[in-house]
Structure 1
Amino acid sequence: MKTRRHPGEVAFDACNAIVLALACVLILLPMAHVLASSFSSNNALIHAEVGLWPVGFHFDNYMAVFRNEMVWTSFKNTLFVVAVGTLINMVLTVLTAYPLSKSYLRGRRVVLFVIVFTLIFYAPIIPTYLVVKSLGMLNTLWALIVPLAVSAFNLLLCLTFFRSLPEELFEAARVDGMTEFRMVWHIAVPLSKPIMFTLMLFYAVQHWNNYYSALLFITKHDMRPLQLYLYTIVAQNNVSEMLSQVTEASTGMSPQGLQMATVMVATVPVLAIYPFIQKHFVKGALIGSVKE
């Protein structure tokens, strides 16, 4: 049976659809321009003839990017940071959030206060740099992982989800002799797939997009992650390293085209992964919006 909708509800939904459509257009237009520029010729880019469609279509910019050994080295560094960093993030977040979700834990309020305190007051840059230096992690990929081992915001999200799990399951498991660690990995985590995928996405994207930590702690070229290399190419307008590998036959290439191609190479992996976890991400992002 269809319910009759109020005209105000119809108008509200229409306004939402229009606003969201405009927001999508505003997001997609710059990406479309970057993609078109990455396939366009040098002459078209110099004369600002490129809009949303390539002019003088060619693949020379991408061929130069893929021929550049520093791109592959930076890509491997980023993959290591994302894979190892996300694994450490998830393990520490789960092992911290689970006990804090139990109301009978002694000292729980004090620990939660310290965690919330870090959301308000961040560690200054110079003390953080001195700590990383004293630990001997400068110019190592661990400098990009260890300081970001746990996110207080993600920890609170995970804690909130664990609180919603029925305590009767854990009591029954204790009666059967199951240890707390087994309950975490065999009960809490399997029942928390939406928040697990959400936190994995948050942590992975954080590591993938993080160039500021690398800018502080990494000076060796062969240890640069992809985003720091992208920062060198785009923000500092330094494409001499790529141009030095260009052959004479590649006359359609340009510094701007190389920059745009590098941006696309650094962006596409995240865009390709997101559709596969979108279902779990939406569920996890809505945690706490509905109460029984």
Structure 2
Amino acid sequence: MTGTRKRHKSKKIRLTVPDRIYMGCIYTFLGLFTLAVLYPLIYVISASFSSPTALIRGKVVLLPVDPGLQGYQAIFATSQVWTGYGNSIIYTAVYAVLSVMLTMMVGYPLTRKEFPAKKLVTVLYTITMFIGGGMIPAYLLILKLHLMDTMWALILPGLTGAWNVIITRTFIKSSIPEELFEATSIDGGSYFQCFFYMVLPLSKPIMAVLALSAATSMWNSYFSALLYINTPSKFPLQLILRNILVQNNVDFTAIDKMGSITDMMQKQYLSELLKYSLIVVSSIPLLIFYPFIQKYFIKGVMVGSIKG
């Protein structure tokens, strides 16, 4: 027994003084980097729960000062925020579903030897990664298609991004054995049956990557809505948040009678508090959505970007 313990102790690697100094520097750097990343998040959350007066006077540093829910009460009493929330959920859901399906439909034929134009299509998609159409041509195209002030002006452009198509093609080509395609063909299965009954069920990891990427890009996007959407009732949440952050624009007339708040604070104070509360509220859906697809997301990124 004693001999076994000695052998285990002898296997332990002892760090030299330079190694300890090096590891100490690494841990210190990573710790500081973690603090630099976490502090803005902690500050935003703390500011959203602080009082408007403490926030304006710069008293909030790490923890909430005079904690309260004034900002969240004002948000949930504001009709434009609820409207923006609903619009963003609809736009994001439709965009994510269409983006995943169309990207899979484009990526699948590019893996088949029978598709004669696969190299040409791949080259054309790759070119779009380096040469964009430009803002003005895109605006004129949306205008000619009569899509202005509709949700399709936000959804249709960019449904099948070049990078997503490439990693989808790589995933299908490297993860699904060619023998399965041959077996399906021998059994009389068509390309559509092969796609819907074999490729899609076996491509959950890459579909999770595509869904999260599409949902994140649409949820966080405001510039397209700024260009193409003119009706306030169709504004997504991020555009409303942008107006509040940049223009200090809050519709206080939409806030119901909140005497305990409006009597104590000026509109400017409450507007400043609403900025931080809105940032927290707008981040919640993605934080809820991510854990459900995390296991597929990690696998899909690794396989789709490294293999092949």
With the length of structure 1 as denominator, give the TM-score of the two structures.
0.91
Q: Deviations over 1:175-223 (max 9, x none)?
A: 1111111111211121121111111100110110111110110111001
1:96-115 to structure 2, matched below 5 A, reads: 96-115=106-125
C-alpha distance in 2, partners of 1:285/1:232? 35
Contact 1:36 1:54 in 2 (8 A): yes
Contact 1:65 1:242 in 2 (8 A): no
Contact 2:168 2:304 in 1 (8 A): no
User: How many residue pairs end up in the alignment?
Assistant: 290
Q: Deviations over 1:249-289 (max 9, x none)?
A: 11256221111111111111111221222211111121256
The counterpart of 1:258, out of the listed 269, 274, 285, is 274
- 2:4 corresponds in structure 1 to none
Helix, strand or coil for the counterpart of 1:53? coil
C-alpha distance in 2, partners of 1:16/1:208? 36
Task: Report whether the alignment pairs 1:276 with 2:286.
Answer: no
The unaligned stretches of length 5 or more in structure 1 are: none
The counterpart of 1:53, out of the listed 59, 63, 66, is 63
Contact 1:61 1:261 in 2 (8 A): yes
C-alpha distance in 1, partners of 2:23/2:171? 30
C-alpha distance in 2, partners of 1:265/1:32? 14
Alpha-carbon shift at residue 172 of structure 1 (Å): 0.3
Distance 1:269 1:114, change over 3 A: same
1:211-290 to structure 2, matched below 5 A, reads: 211-239=222-250, 241-242=251-252, 245=255, 247-250=258-261, 251=264, 254-287=270-303
- 1:130 corresponds in structure 2 to 140
Alpha-carbon shift at residue 19 of structure 1 (Å): 4.6
State, as a whole percentage, how many aligned pairs show the same letter. 36
The counterpart of 1:173, out of the listed 164, 181, 184, is 184
Helix, strand or coil for the counterpart of 2:102? helix
Helix, strand or coil for the counterpart of 1:189? helix
What's the RMSD between the two structures over aligned residues?
2.4
The counterpart of 1:93, out of the listed 93, 103, 127, is 103
- 1:72 corresponds in structure 2 to 82
Contact 2:44 2:276 in 1 (8 A): yes
Match of 1:67, as an amino acid? A
Alpha-carbon shift at residue 25 of structure 1 (Å): 2.2
Distance 1:83 1:43, change over 3 A: same
C-alpha distance in 1, partners of 2:64/2:83? 29
Match of 1:161, as an amino acid? F
Alpha-carbon shift at residue 22 of structure 1 (Å): 3.5
With the length of structure 2 as denominator, give the TM-score of the two structures.
0.87
Match of 2:280, as an amino acid? M
Distance 1:92 1:7, change over 3 A: farther
C-alpha distance in 1, partners of 2:234/2:218? 15
Match of 2:42, as an amino acid? A
The unaligned stretches of length 5 or more in structure 2 are: 1-6
C-alpha distance in 2, partners of 1:50/1:68? 25
- 2:195 corresponds in structure 1 to 184
Contact 2:107 2:169 in 1 (8 A): yes
- 2:3 corresponds in structure 1 to none
C-alpha distance in 1, partners of 2:139/2:48? 37
